[in-house]
Amino acid sequence: MKNDMRVTLPLWQMAAIALLMVITITMGLATKVTNFTNDRLEFEITFGSYLGGIFACAMVAFLIFFVLFLINIQKHNKRFPDKKINTFTFKPQEYIEDDEWFDEMTKRATKKVYSYYSWTLPLLVGFSLGGFLGRTVILVGILLIAMGQYWIYYSTMRKMLKSAEEDE
């Protein structure tokens, strides 16, 4: 199970979210809404010297990351043809249903994630409404919540895998 990318997939997703947070923050700092006229939204994006550099580096890093991610998925699929990862699907890859044990692990981890969402989303909505936060802060908040979801799932699965390895 150590080389099974399905177990480490949440770490890859967390790294992608971290890069998206940098891109979101730089776009938020560079974007200014200039006018609401005739049911149209006009905005201007202006990158300063350092902000443009950060944005460019983050975009290049994201593209490199995405290519490496796809290459690793191909390697995984070749190594484990019976445990393929489908890159573009609506079913979350975290659902590992190889046998009853993995099915139970997935249920426990997703149960914890559901509990996490049941209090973080209302909290974010409350802060957004009560604090009059800007759109960038709200987007970063959503990305942080998504990162938390993957961390909870990964740490739960990792603990269960460790305990199973110790039992053997």
Q: Is residue 28 part of a domain?
A: yes
Q: Is residue 83 part of a domain?
A: no
pTM: 0.81
The number of folded domains in the chain is: 1
Paired with 33 in beta bridges are 43
Q: Is residue 84 part of a domain?
A: no
Q: Is residue 126 part of a domain?
A: yes
Q: Is residue 129 part of a domain?
A: yes
pLDDT by 10s per residue, the chain, length 168? 556 777 888 899 999 999 999 999 998 888 776 666 677 767 667 777 788 888 899 999 999 999 999 999 999 889 888 888 887 777 766 766 666 777 788 888 889 999 999 999 998 888 888 777 788 888 999 999 999 999 999 998 888 888 877 776
* Helical packing angle, 100-131 and 135-167, nearest 10°: 160
Q: Is residue 16 part of a domain?
A: yes
Of residues 29, 5, 8, 11, the one with CA closest to residue 139 = 29
Q: State the residue range of the domain holding 49.
A: 5-78+94-167
Q: Is residue 89 part of a domain?
A: no
Within 31-99, residue ranges assigned H as helices are 49-79
Q: Is residue 46 part of a domain?
A: yes
Distances from the Cα of 41 to the Cα of 26, 31, 139, angstroms: 20, 12, 19
pLDDT value of residue 142: 93
